[in-house]
């Protein structure tokens, strides 16, 4: 994350800027779900929509799609090289952001849906100025060493994506401190009601549906059915491993973890699954108490080789991903494993499955 956007902005402008209207999304949780659902609604209405999300699960090309189709590796490398030629000292994420903007121009997108990487005010995605709408998902304490140590400070960073005259849409469950900062910002604020849509988070779905309607892309029964079938990587994602069921979710805030755990009983009952066992990992910049939301006798800590890796709680057993699946291979009855806590954890599990570790 850049603390000074001037170098990024200079490169952005040298590349010709960006005139495509943008829906810009900030918040602590639900950004990716909201962004993906909104982009899908726009696509189903027949317009060409560019989507930029982060982090990726396995490959960086997942960050950039047009009408649901990922950018090719060749195009992403080509455009990153173009950006580096103008701004050789930008960070990796800054280069990826500007390369995505270049791709969306090449693809003649009608509208863009852009998720902030972190914060908002000084996030590299915020160099874009042509905003049609700004969205603020639920705000919680996160990245406190960067964004601030209170909800008010973090909300100020998130609200940095707003522009005068551009409406702001948010969820009605924000904490009072966040609403106070929203009121102080003076922006035109609209509240988006929750929307029940399969196993997608109701707040995220509601924000996407309300934003789409505001932009002139109303929901109908055909679109709703398509969204209900839409699988989002790392967000209540279900995989099958032989007779066993695997759930992957990158939930890493208190509310998002609670949501996943709250959805499990219905999912288990509907699919006749056994009591779940959990593999978790929360990165070092997340709430260190989140592991306590899980049953200790059915939860293991999965180590990650990651600079931001979290510290294993003393009360939990550590078990590497490949060890978990080696043990699972010895099970004669169908099992249900849920991996929760980080998209880096989701990536590690996917790598283990892909490699047959």
Alpha helices in 31-149 (DSSP H): 31-44, 73-86, 92-106, 144-147
Q: Among residues 334, 352, 157, 340, which one has the least CA distance to residue 259?
A: 340
Give dist(CA 116, CA 52) in Å, integer: 9
- What class is the 237-355 domain? alpha beta
pLDDT of residue 355: 77
Pairing of the two strands 64-66 and 69-70: antiparallel
pLDDT of residue 3: 65
pLDDT of residue 144: 47
Give dist(CA 127, CA 13) in Å, integer: 9
Question: Angle, to 10 degrees, between the axis of helix 151-158 and the axis of helix 176-185?
Answer: 40
CATH number of this structure's domain 6-229, picked from the four choices 3.30.830.10, 3.10.420.10, 3.40.1190.10, 3.40.50.2020? 3.40.1190.10
Give dist(CA 97, CA 52) in Å, integer: 8
Contact 327, 335 (CB under 8 A): no
Would you write out the chain's pLDDT as a tens digit for each of its 357 residues?
Answer: 446 899 999 999 999 999 999 999 999 889 999 999 999 999 999 999 999 999 888 899 999 999 999 999 999 999 999 999 999 999 999 999 999 999 999 999 999 999 999 889 999 999 998 999 999 999 976 544 445 458 888 888 999 999 999 999 999 999 899 999 999 888 879 999 999 998 898 999 999 999 999 999 999 999 999 999 998 889 999 999 999 999 999 998 888 899 999 999 999 999 999 999 999 999 998 888 999 999 999 999 999 998 889 999 999 999 999 999 999 999 989 999 999 999 999 999 999 998 765
pLDDT of residue 142: 55
Per-domain boundaries in the chain: 6-229, 237-355
Contact 200, 208 (CB under 8 A): no
Alpha helices in 272-316 (DSSP H): none
């Amino acid at each position: 994350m850049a603390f000074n956007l001037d170098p990024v902005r200079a490169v952005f402008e040298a590349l010709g800027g960006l005139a495509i209207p943008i829906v810009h999304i900030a918040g602590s949780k639900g950004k990716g779900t909201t962004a993906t659902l909104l982009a899908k609604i726009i696509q189903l209405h027949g317009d060409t929509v560019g989507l930029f999300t982060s982090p990726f699960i396995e490959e960086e090309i997942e960050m950039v799609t047009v009408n649901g189709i990922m950018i090719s590796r060749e195009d992403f490398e080509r455009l990153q090289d173009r950006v580096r030629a103008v701004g050789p000292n930008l960070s990796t994420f800054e280069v990826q952001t500007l390369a995505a903007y270049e791709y969306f121009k090449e693809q003649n997108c009608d509208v863009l849906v852009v998720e902030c990487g972190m914060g908002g005010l000084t996030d590299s995605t915020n160099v874009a100025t042509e905003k049609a709408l700004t969205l603020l998902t639920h705000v919680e304490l996160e990245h406190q060493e960067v964004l601030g140590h209170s909800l008010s400070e973090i909300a100020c960073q998130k609200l940095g994506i707003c522009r005068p005259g551009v409406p702001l849409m948010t969820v009605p469950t924000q904490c009072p401190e966040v609403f106070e900062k929203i009121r102080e910002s003076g922006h035109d604020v609209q509240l988006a009601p929750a929307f029940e849509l399969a196993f997608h988070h109701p707040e995220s779905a509601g924000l996407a549906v309300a934003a789409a309607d505001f932009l002139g892309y109303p929901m109908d029964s055909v679109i709703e059915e398509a969204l209900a079938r839409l699988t989002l990587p790392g967000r209540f994602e279900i995989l099958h491993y032989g007779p066993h069921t695997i759930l992957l979710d990158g939930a890493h805030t208190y509310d998002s973890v609670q949501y996943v755990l709250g959805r499990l009983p219905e999912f288990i009952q509907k699919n006749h699954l056994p009591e779940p066992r959990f593999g978790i990992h929360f990165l070092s910049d997340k709430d260190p108490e989140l592991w306590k939301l899980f049953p200790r006798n059915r939860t293991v800590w999965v180590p990650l080789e990651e600079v931001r890796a979290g510290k294993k709680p003393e009360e939990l057993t550590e078990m590497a991903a490949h060890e978990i699946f080696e043990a699972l291979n010895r099970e004669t009855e169908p099992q249900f494993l849920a991996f929760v806590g980080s998209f880096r954890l989701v990536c590690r599990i996917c790598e283990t499955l892909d490699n047959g570790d």
